[in-house]
């Protein structure tokens, strides 16, 4: 069966990559091992129950990755993606009952009347392709700008899917409840509005919104054992934020920020305002965080309970130590000097990294 699947999917062996020397950190030592290469701007990663992976490529593809690193040809059956600037085929998440229903969720940019928008797509994984794909939700209003699509996905313990969006390069959108962009959305698994969402019944607000006032959400994760939704978002020049999400809360952008305009110039004099939530952690200067995971595995016991964050601009892995709901320490861990787009913890307890490059790859941190 395994051989037939690989043949059907057109899998080929990824080329060799050199493993790195031992990296020693405050609470762990590891080697960086290659998993797969030959990926064009990989963006999101999901582990299948058998340990294989589904990985998205921003130009509009999804591939299957074998446990031995073999890459499939692009899997068919998905709607057309607009791969423009920062947009394309972005995040991917499995339904909590994937083993029974085979459902996969993708956040991809699609064209529509008025421009492009981040959309939520659901399809059934059928080994060498997807079947029954449908677009469940499209952010409105659309725009022709090519930046700040957000597009991170995560299922909560309540069974709802959370979808993080960016402001599409127009900061005013984040303070407009009639605009999906610049918000964290909460949807049922079939794309409907949960009746307990905070703005249900208001004529001046989109009912899908769970929190608002975000600039560009690039990391999204649920803290194990708590049900808490955490995210991080890009600031402008400075002011990247980690936020603990509260129902219906306003996170301030652009009325509140620790950053300034690119090239200098004040956006707002305020780093805090009444009625707006303060970030749990701020990076100034920016690291351009991307990807986010809570670590609870056995491979690195010293990291349990910590947040792991990739960095595009700073090209490293960041480990945040928590006490309660506060970040009390930060460790910046050098890896291999490439832009890290996503961070995931595998079923084996190891940490997997995606590198954002035209010759991108999947790497694994193995305990040393």
Closest CA to 122 of 166, 82, 161, 83: 161
148 is catalytic: yes
Active-site option among 41, 148, 232, 281: 148
Sequence-distant (≥ 6) Cβ neighbours of residue 361 within 8 angstroms: 17, 34, 35, 36, 37, 38, 39, 42, 354, 355
Q: What gap in Å lies between CA 163 and CA 81, rounded to an integer? A: 18
* Residues labelled catalytic: 148
């Amino acid at each position: 069966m395994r051989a037939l699947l690989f043949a059907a999917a057109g899998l080929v062996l990824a080329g060799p990559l050199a493993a790195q020397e031992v990296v020693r950190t405050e609470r762990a030592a590891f080697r960086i091992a290659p998993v797969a290469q030959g990926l064009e701007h990989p963006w999101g990663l999901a582990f299948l129950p058998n340990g294989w992976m589904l990985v998205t490529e921003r130009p509009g593809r999804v591939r299957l990755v074998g446990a031995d690193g073999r890459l499939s040809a692009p899997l068919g059956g998905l709607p057309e993606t607009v791969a423009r600037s920062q947009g394309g085929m972005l995040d991917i998440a499995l339904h909590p009952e994937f083993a029974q229903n085979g459902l996969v969720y993708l956040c991809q940019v699609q064209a529509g009347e008025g421009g492009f928008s981040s959309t939520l797509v659901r399809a059934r994984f059928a080994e060498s392709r997807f079947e029954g794909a449908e677009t469940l939700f499209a952010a409105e209003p659309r725009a022709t700008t090519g930046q700040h699509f957000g597009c991170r996905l995560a299922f909560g313990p309540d069974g709802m899917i959370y979808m993080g969006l960016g402001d599409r390069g127009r900061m005013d959108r984040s303070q407009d409840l009639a605009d999906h962009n610049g918000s964290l959305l909460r949807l049922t698994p079939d794309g409907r509005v949960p009746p307990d969402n905070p703005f249900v019944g208001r004529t001046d607000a989109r009912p899908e919104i769970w929190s608002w006032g975000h600039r560009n959400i690039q990391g999204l994760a649920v803290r194990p054992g708590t049900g808490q939704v955490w995210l991080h978002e890009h600031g402008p020049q400075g002011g990247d934020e980690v936020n603990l999400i509260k129902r219906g809360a306003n996170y301030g952008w652009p009325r509140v920020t620790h950053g300034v305009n690119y090239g200098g110039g004040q956006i707002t004099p305020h780093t805090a305002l009444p009625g707006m939530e303060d970030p749990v952690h701020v990076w100034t200067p920016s690291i351009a965080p991307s990807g986010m995971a809570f670590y609870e595995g056995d491979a690195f016991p010293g990291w349990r309970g910590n947040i792991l964050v990739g960095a595009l601009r700073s090209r490293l892995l960041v480990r945040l130590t928590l006490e309660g709901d506060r970040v009390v320490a930060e460790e910046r861990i050098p890896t291999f000097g490439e832009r890290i787009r996503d961070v995931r913890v595998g079923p084996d307890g190891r940490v997997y990294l995606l590198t954002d490059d035209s010759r991108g790859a999947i790497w694994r941190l193995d305990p040393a």
